[in-house]
Amino acid sequence: MKVSIAKSKSYDMKDINKSLDSLFEDLNMDKEKPFKDLIKPNDCVFIKPNWVASKWRESCGHKDDIYCVITHHNLIEAVCDRVVKSLDGKGKIYIGDNPSIDANFNELMELTNIKRLEIKYKGLVEILDLRPLFCDDLKNYGKKDLMKKQTGDPNGGTTINLQKQSLFYGMDPTLFRGVFDEREETIKSHSGDNQLYTFSSSIYNSNLYISIPKLKTHHKTGVTLNLKGLVGSIINKNQLVHWKVGYPNIGGDEYPNKEIYEKMQKEKIQERGAWPGNDTIWRMVCDLYQAFLNRKGKNFTIIDGIMGGEGQGPFCPNSVNSKTLLASEDLLLADIVATRYMGINPYGISYLNYFIKKYSINIEDIEVFINNKKNENFFNNHDKYLDFEVKELWEKIKIFN
């Protein structure tokens, strides 16, 4: 399987289109209709950007560009243009995400002006906020009964029960923590043979899923790309186990020890589960990908690294002028290559390491192209490539650190 990397000078449409053409050339895809072998007229395509936030968080402690956090609208439009051509203008294209529960979707639409694609391609494109619940007041964050209700996915949800395939199967669920303080639903979703994940049906049943994540570090998982981005495909966020309450001596992995646990209870920004010893969230990511592999549709990814995010991702990174786009038909292999290109060891990312071992992947067999040239020694040379910084405590995942 091939993974292609191309430089893009900026988010100007000319630069993006030139870089996309380069990516598709490496992948032996048609320049005008690159997705024509993956879809046919009247098919349904779901384009999922990273729309985790609608503005820069004041709690970050520093100010930076919001586009080191979310996918740029020009890249979304450029991909959408090519999907329309590949469908011969017939079918359905959804563009959407299940953002952080406190994101203001109207604010996001105003920021990106992405709604104009519904006018540009009237009757073909529809923008979706997949959240059935959202938080309109941060004072209520984590309180499910104080969330506001909305339609969410107009096509509803598709629930997958992984049963014994789940990495939570056989584990004591009593300390599991999802999105809300009310943990009963999280525990019930991961007890015994119940290992439940409710996907957006618009995503799960699409003929082609196009993931456009950011090239970004993450304080709970090390990196967030395609596989971690599947969190945004789940419409019931309380099914997503993020950590186990407490610290290791009492069976938890929220914090490293009792002292830090007690100290953080008094802090406004608690950073729960944000350390390499979180032995829970990577399992959730593995479950999501495992469940996603069961669907019938095809996948494609274009990772937005024109501006990347390093350090305190996913919400508070420092911007990196990484000038990179990366594409592949394989979400997992794309994540492995992207991680190494960030200067991070793929084996140091627990969910990537799990699948590398599970599927006996020899990463050296991945065909990597950089700017239309095959790189024969991509993983084994001493190049740090983009050399992204990581959050404190995560230094061991860096290449040659």
The per-residue pLDDT for 113 is: 98
Structural domain count, the chain: 1
Q: Return mean pLDDT, the chain.
A: 97
CB 7 within 8 A of CB 19: yes
Contact 401, 343 (CB under 8 A): no
The lowest-confidence range among 162-171, 196-205, 253-262 is 253-262
Please check whether residue 212 lies inside any domain of the structure.
Answer: yes
324 in a domain, yes or no?
Answer: yes
Output the pLDDT for position 355.
99
**Residue 227: which domain range?**
2-242+280-397
**Cβ contacts of 200 within 8 Å, gap of 6 or more:** 96, 98, 130, 152, 153, 155, 157, 158, 233, 234, 235
Percent with pLDDT over 70 in the chain: 100
269 occurs within a structural domain: no
* 267 within some domain: no
Q: 44 in a domain, yes or no? A: yes
Average pLDDT value for residue range 253-271: 87
Mean pLDDT value of segment 140-149: 90
230-247, pLDDT tens digit by residue?
A: 999 999 999 999 999 999
* 105-119, 135-149, 154-168: least confident range: 135-149
Report the sign of the C-alpha dihedral through residues 311, 315, 321, 324, in that order: positive
Q: What is the pLDDT of residue 135?
A: 94
pLDDT level of residue 341 (50, 70, 90 thresholds): very high
Residue 257 lies in a domain: no
Query: What residue type is assigned to position 64 of the chain?
Result: D
pLDDT of residue 138: 80
Q: Is 400 left (phi over 0), alpha (psi -120 to 50) or beta?
A: left
Q: What percent of the chain has pLDDT over 90?
A: 93
Q: Is residue 268 part of a domain?
A: no
d(CA 259, CA 183): 24
pTM over 0.85? The answer is yes
**Residue 139 has what pLDDT?**
84
Model confidence at 401: pLDDT above 70 = no
Q: What is the pLDDT of residues 350-394, one digit of tens each?
A: 999 999 999 999 999 999 999 999 999 999 888 899 999 999 999
**Structural domain contains residue 256:** no
